[in-house]
Structure formats: structure tokens, C-alpha cells
Amino acid sequence: MSSVAYSETSLDLQPLPQPDREFYYSRVKTREAVLKSVRKLNYDTLEIVVKCRDDGSPPICGQAGQYATLRTPEITTPRSFSFARAPEFENPNEHTFLVRLVHGGRFSGWLFEQDRTGSPMTITGPLGSFTLDSSNKPMLCVAGGSGISVIRALLEHAANEKVARDCLFLYGGRQQRDLYYDEEFKAIKAAWNPNHRFEFVQVLSEDEGTSNWAHRGLVTDYLKKAYIDTGRIDVRKMKAYLCGPPPMVNAAVTMLEKAGTSGGDIKFDKFEDSTSPAPVIDNTKCVLCDECLYVKPVDKCIVDVASLRSATPNTTPSYTQIQPGQTPGLYYSSLYIDAKECIRCFSCVEACPVGAISVGYDRNVQSIRQSVG
């Protein structure tokens, strides 16, 4: 009898490849929630805690430095707000944010009008990539206004991780009445890696001449004068995290680049609003990977269009959105950002792997591939 040589099957228990849990859980999710609490930090800033409803849905798993969008039944266009605490310090399913009152602003105005505790909200996140990097370069953080929220979350996380890095955090306000979170940053300093320095400096640009405040001027000017020009820090060897109003962030980027910080060592998060320009998609670069469509927080901010028409250059074009299985005719599908719907969250810009989305692209519809009707 001939014997057949069967190949042997290994009985070793080898685990199968698993999805990257961090990546999987970090996918953008939308949850129904309630405004659990509101704390007044000063005359123009509230700290709010949003609690997701306990309906068994997967949690929103953000990282320190990311943000989410919030909307209410009254304000259905979402607004972006950064997580103000590192997730490891939040109660399960809760998210803390700072909201600064914006003159004429609908969402912030609604929150300040009366105590909105208990109001239903819808939260979508996590969004953004302004997270702690794994380098060991000293950290330079600069924030203005409610940009302090993101830096608090980042530094809480860094302190908890006992990162082996020095950290200088300069916060820019106008007057002493703008300042808050003293106790929170004392707690971060106390928890910081004891082998490294942690310095928190509040810089005031409009403090009265009669006060004896030690750090005065625009925060970016003060950074240059008191730290860079004097050689107290070497920004060429540091990693910068900038957060807050666009003019402050722009000024800080320009100053740091001039002082020799490499572009790759500057991370920033600009708190844009509806008055900022919307990004544009260059369809000649787009590889139709759909990443921007996964992260967009608004239903129709990015639309798949069959045709796009503009009566004159630089006027808002009208478009025909592709309805799969229904749109007739021959077309090349092209993605288009509708500036009227876009909330300037810039999630799509960060998500695009080929740099096809930018505020710098030509707004003239002719730049969109094969789509001029």
C-alpha cells in the first residue's frame, strides 16, 4: 500500500491579523448627548461638559488635542470645539469643552443667553490630528483665547505619560480678567516628569499700566523678546504647538520659522469660524479614496457632482449632485466643497492623503477636472 504524503497542518495557535484597535475606535462617530454642566470661567468663556446618552452605541474615543463638532436642535449647523481634557481624565462618555463668546455668534450666543444645562446636543468626533508627537524634543506651547483648552488636554496627557521633555507654555490674554485655569496648570506642573522643567507664563497685551504684571505684550512678541532673543530657549531644537485665533497662530508660525524652527516641528490648530475661507478640492489631484467623505461632519459640505456651473468666475457655482443609479448622462464624478455648507473644520484637509484639499487652491470652477458644464 502506497502512503500518501499529506502536508502537515500546523496546530500552533497563531492569532489572525486584527484591525488596529486605536484606528478603528478613532473613527468619527455621531452620538446623541445632553449638556450635563456649564461652568463660567470668566466673563466670556464657559466650560461645558457634554454627556453622550447611554444607548449602547460605541463611545467617541478621541485623543488629547483632537476636537468634535456640536449641534443642537436650535443650531443645526455644527460648530467645532476642542476637547479640553485628556480622555483619561474624563468620566466615561463625557467630553469637556471651552466655549468663548463670539460677537454675533449663534452657537456661543445661544450658550451664553441662559443656562442651557440639560439641553439635547449631537456630538460628532473625534476629528483632527493635533496630537502629542512621540519625539523627545522640548515642547513650546503658545495659545490665545479658548485655544488654552487644547493645550490643557495635551499637557494633561503629557504629564500623565511622564514624557521626558521640558515644556514652556505661553498663554496670551488681554487683561487679568481674561485669565483662568491657574489651578489646572498648577496640577499639571505638579504631575510633570520631575526630571524635566515645566513653565507656564501668562502674557497680557492690554493690562493697565498701573498693575505690576510681569509679562506684557503680544504673546508672540514676548516669546521672541524674553525667550528667543535672550537665548533662554533654542526654538530650532523644539517642537511647537500653537493654538487659538488664526491671527495669533499665523504670527507665531512666521516668527518661529524666521527664528529657525523647521516647518515639520510646528503643529497648529486654528480656531477658524464661518468668516474664514473654505477649502477647495483640486480634482486633478484627487484619487477618489473617500477619506474626506468619512470625516466630514456636515452632510452636504463635500458633494459628488456631475456638473458644476458658474455664470462668471469667482461666483458661487451651482451643481448637480450625483444620485447613484439616478443621475442620467455621462459624467466624471468630481468632489466639490460647498462653501455655504462648510463649517471650516478642516477635517477634510487633514484627512486627504494626497494634499488635494487646501484653502490655497484656485476657486475658479475651471480648475475642477472635466466638470465645467
Ligand X SMILES: Cc1cc2nc3c(=O)[nH]c(=O)nc-3n(C[C@H](O)[C@H](O)[C@H](O)COP(=O)(O)OP(=O)(O)OC[C@H]3O[C@@H](n4cnc5c(N)ncnc54)[C@H](O)[C@@H]3O)c2cc1C
Q: Rule CB under 6 A: is residue 96 a binding residue for ligand X? A: no
Q: Residue 107, interface with ligand X (CB under 6 A)?
A: yes
Q: Applying CB under 6 A, which of residues 286, 303, 305, 308 lies at the interface with ligand SF4?
A: 286
Q: Which does 138 bind (CB under 5 to 8 A by kind): ligand X, ligand SF4, none?
A: none
Q: In the complex with ligand SF4, which residue's Cβ is closer, 95 or 296?
A: 296
Region 332-371 residues binding ligand SF4, contact defined as CB under 6 A: 335, 337, 342-348, 351-352, 354, 356-357
| Binding flag, residue 338, ligand X (CB under 6 A) | no
Q: Which stretch binds ligand SF4 (CB under 6 A): 82-90, 151-159, 231-239, 285-293?
A: 285-293
**Other CB atoms within 10 Å distance of the CB of residue 107:** 20
Q: Is 281 in the site for ligand SF4 (CB under 6 A)?
A: yes
Q: Which stretch binds ligand X (CB under 6 A): 24-32, 97-105, 213-221, 277-285?
A: 97-105
Question: Cβ 243 to ligand X, closest distance in Å?
Answer: 9
Handedness of CA 219, 97, 153, 342 (dihedral sign): negative
Size of the site for ligand SF4 (CB under 6 A): 29
Q: Are the C-beta atoms of 266 and 253 separated by less than 8 Å?
A: yes
CB nearer to ligand SF4: pick between 213 and 331: 331
* Selected range binding ligand X among 29-37, 178-186, 211-219, 265-273, rule: CB under 6 A: 265-273
Kindly state whether residue 122 participates in binding ligand X, applying the rule CB under 6 A. no
Backbone angles phi, psi at 113, to 5 degrees: -60, -45
Residue 81 touching ligand X (CB under 6 A)? yes
Footprint of ligand X on this chain (CB under 6 A)? Answer: 67, 79-82, 97-100, 102-109, 128, 146, 149, 269, 271-275, 344-345
Footprint of ligand SF4 on this chain (CB under 6 A)? Answer: 278-279, 281, 286-292, 296-298, 301-302, 335, 337, 342-348, 351-352, 354, 356-357
